[in-house]
C-alpha cells in the first residue's frame, strides 16, 4: 500500500486520534502521579474500586469500559502492593476486590497530584474546550455502548 494511502487512512481514523490524545493526556497525568508511586491507570482503578467496593472484576471492568482480563492484569499488582485485597464473593468463582487502608492512604497521597494534573489539562484546554471534550467523550461512550449492546 503506498505511503500516501496509509497517511490518508490515519487522517480518517477516529480511533487513531482518540488513542493518540489518550496517550498524551495519560502522560501528563503520569508525570504528576509519578512521585505518588502510581500511574493514572492504577489511580483510576483504585478510585473506582473504592467507589464500588466490594466489587467483582466483571462489574469493575464494566465501570472502566475495559476487558475483564485487562482489569485482572492491572489489579494483580495492586493486590501484591497491598493496596487492594481480594475476598470471596457469593459464588466461589467470583472474587470481590476492596481497597485496603494502605490503598486508601495511597489514594489520599496521590489526590493532590491528580488535582494538579486536572488543573493543568483544564488550563491548557480552557473551560470551553474542556467542557466540549468531556461532553463529546461521554456522549461517544454512551452511544457506542448503546449501539454495541443492542440485541
Residue 20 lies in a domain: no
* Structural domain span for residue 99: 25-148
pLDDT of residue 5: 62
Residue 111 in contact with residue 43, Cβ under 8 Å? no
Residue 62 lies in a domain: yes
pLDDT of residue 151: 56
Residue 20 in contact with residue 30, Cβ under 8 Å? no
Provide the 10 A C-beta neighbour count for residue 40: 19
Residue 16 lies in a domain: no
Average pLDDT over residues 73-97: 88
Residue 40 lies in a domain: yes
Give pLDDT tens digits for 21-35. 999 999 999 999 999
Give pLDDT tens digits for 50-78. 999 999 999 999 999 899 999 999 999 99
Residue 17 lies in a domain: no
The SS3 of residue 94 is coil
pLDDT of residue 60: 95
Cβ burial, residue 78 (10 Å; 0-12/13-18/19+):
buried
CATH number, residue 127: 1.10.10.10
Q: How many domains does the chain have?
A: 1
Is 60 exceeded by the pLDDT of residue 146? yes
When the pLDDT of each residue in the chain is averaged and rounded to a whole number, the result is: 90
Average pLDDT over residues 13-27: 92
Q: What's the pTM value of the predicted model, to 2 decimals?
A: 0.84
Dist CA 107 CA 127 (whole Å):
26
* CA 112 to centroid of chain Cα atoms: 18
Residue 4 lies in a domain: no
Residue 92 lies in a domain: yes
Among residues of the chain, what percentage have pLDDT more than 70? 93
Which neighbouring-strand residues pair with 141? Answer: none
Amino acid at each position: 500500500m503506498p505511503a500516501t494511502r496509509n497517511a490518508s487512512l490515519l487522517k480518517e481514523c477516529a480511533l487513531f486520534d482518540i488513542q493518540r490524545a489518550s496517550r498524551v493526556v495519560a502522560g501528563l497525568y503520569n508525570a504528576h502521579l509519578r512521585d505518588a508511586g502510581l500511574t493514572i491507570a492504577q489511580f483510576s482503578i483504585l478510585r473506582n474500586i473504592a467507589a464500588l467496593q466490594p466489587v467483582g472484576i466483571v462489574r469493575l471492568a464494566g465501570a472502566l469500559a475495559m476487558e475483564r482480563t485487562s482489569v485482572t492484569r492491572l489489579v494483580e499488582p495492586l493486590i501484591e502492593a497491598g493496596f487492594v485485597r481480594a475476598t470471596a464473593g457469593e459464588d466461589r468463582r467470583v472474587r470481590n476486590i476492596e481497597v485496603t487502608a494502605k490503598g486508601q492512604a495511597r489514594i489520599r497521597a496521590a489526590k493532590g497530584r491528580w488535582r494538579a494534573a486536572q488543573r493543568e489539562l483544564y488550563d491548557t484546554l480552557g473551560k470551553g474546550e474542556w467542557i466540549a471534550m468531556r461532553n463529546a467523550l461521554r456522549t461517544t461512550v454512551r452511544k457506542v455502548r448503546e449501539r454495541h449492546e443492542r440485541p
